[in-house]
Amino acid sequence: MTSVPAFTQSREDFTRNLSDSGLFTTDELGHLPEGDGATLVHKLTESGRLTNYQVQAIQSRRFSELRIGNYDVLSKLGAGGMGSVYKAKHRKMKRIVALKVLAAEIASQGSFIQRFQREVETIAQLQHPNIVMAFDADECESGHFLVMEFVDGRDLSGDVEKNGPLSVADAVECIRQAAEGLAYAHRRGIVHRDIKPANLLRDVTGLVKVADLGLARLSSAAAENSSITQAGGILGTADYMPPEQALDSTTIDHRADIYSLGCTLYFLLTGRPPFQAGSLMGLLLAHRDKPIPSVRDFRADVPPSVEAVIARMLAKKPTDRQASMDEVCQALTSLRAQVQHLTNRPSGATTAKPAAAGTDMTVTLDAATGVAAALISSPPSMATSRRIVDLSLVLVEPSRTQAAIVRKLLESLGIKNVHTANSGQQALQLGREKQVEAFLSAMQLSDMTGVQLAEQARISLPDVGIVVTSSADDAEQATAALQAKNVILLPKPFDGRKLVAALCRATGRLEE
């Protein structure tokens, strides 16, 4: 709750402002409590007739912040990329709701508003005890807004942050309830895309509700025309994002929610997401390549059966996960009897380990533009950099996120003549048209592998140097195929020095 600073406004001035605000009727204004300005405000807030948020807005005559459509705003709950969220009360029905007001930048996109209306119609049809309901959508001077059920409680992220990891029984039950709501949504063709502890709300009775269901699809639609997506922005939260979502968020299905829900269960039990890294790229690669850390390494009281369910939910390949959220529900329900006696939180709160030192590349997100910027932790020498600044190359990367990160790294090295392709065939065509000197390619492309691209390039573009970025597992499989002197394997993660060295070797520009 927002605190109110020492109130110094006179009763006369505050009463005049209160009248101008339109919050009170003439009759209500005629029956205000006695006392000076500070006493009046204290009595009005103590009785619940005004909130601290409203007092501050009235005092400053910011009346536009007090009304959204037919709703009186009680407090501001938060803000995000889609806009701001408020607690509000319908003026006639007196129902308490949560209002999500779209940011002006998003609301100005005509195509998005049409999508918004369609999505709202879909969301409003969802009625399930484990889903935050949508009641209405409207437009006013404040912009387009969505009227949602207000959950009197807190999100699970805040619970863990304040009180530490949940008991095993509590964590399993919270995720089981969330899975029930998601299974209902999946049967109606809706995938959340951004499941995380902050989007699971638990009310004062213990009922868990999935929040923002459907809004992630709206966020995706809004980002399609935004600078964030053009720069490779990610739709979702990296700590809980399945590997396939980082590659292409438009083609994921319900199994992405299973992975994210598994990561959330891991967090509720340990107080940390399953994977840690010192950069966005490192985190995405960890989700893709690293083995799942054992929950039991952090919580000895977690039964092996619980860990087995988590491990399957976090399978790298969607086909290796539970086939449906209904299957997840069944698995979690079967665990209830096994964990019902495990009702104690761990004695010491588990906190996330700091990012590992020495991570080769970190990624920041510019708050104004959403552009990912790659920072070189181990820069090459100036003499070496000069050998490649005039290099012309094709960056072959199906993930817009990773393409933006690597391109920024190349630009920071002085390499400006970069053409981007998202498939092997497109890369070969660009290579011929632009007469480039090098390909910098991911191992896994949409139409072929980096190895197959190298093999085709040897025939049609024999003078082009090839650098293939790869995980350790890919490298072991590809070593035998990458024998030509103009093909270099570059393990991930890599920094500026390693990238320059690989490009120099692939193109014959010897390093100093």
Q: Is the pLDDT of residue 202 over 70?
A: yes
Q: 209-249 pLDDT, tens per residue?
A: 998 876 555 544 444 444 333 323 345 678 999 998 877 76
Give the range among 48-57, 133-142, 256-265, 399-408 with minimum mean pLDDT. 399-408
Task: Retrieve residue 334's tokens.
Answer: 């079967």
Query: Nearest to residue 436, comparing CAs of 391, 375, 396, 496?
Result: 391
Neighbouring residues of 106: CB distance < 8 A, sequence distance ≥ 6? 82, 83, 112, 222
Q: 274-314 pLDDT, tens per residue?
A: 998 877 778 888 999 999 999 999 999 999 999 999 999 99
Count of alpha carbons within 13 angstroms of residue 290, beta-carbon side: 15
Whole-number average pLDDT of the chain: 81
Distance of CA 273 to the CA centre of its chain: 13
- Separation of alpha carbons 79 and 260, rounded Å: 22
H/E stretch holding 102 = strand 96-102
Question: What's the predicted TM-score (pTM) here?
Answer: 0.65
Query: Nearest to residue 141, comparing CAs of 87, 244, 66?
Result: 66
Q: 485-498 pLDDT, tens per residue?
A: 567 888 876 777 88
Domains contained in the chain, CATH given: 11-149 (3.30.200.20), 153-339 (1.10.510.10), 361-507 (3.40.50.2300)
* Better-predicted residue by pLDDT, 357 or 466: 466
H/E stretch holding 365 = strand 361-365
Task: List 362's β-bridge partners, or say none.
Answer: 375
Catalytic amino acids?
194
- Separation of alpha carbons 81 and 60, rounded Å: 27
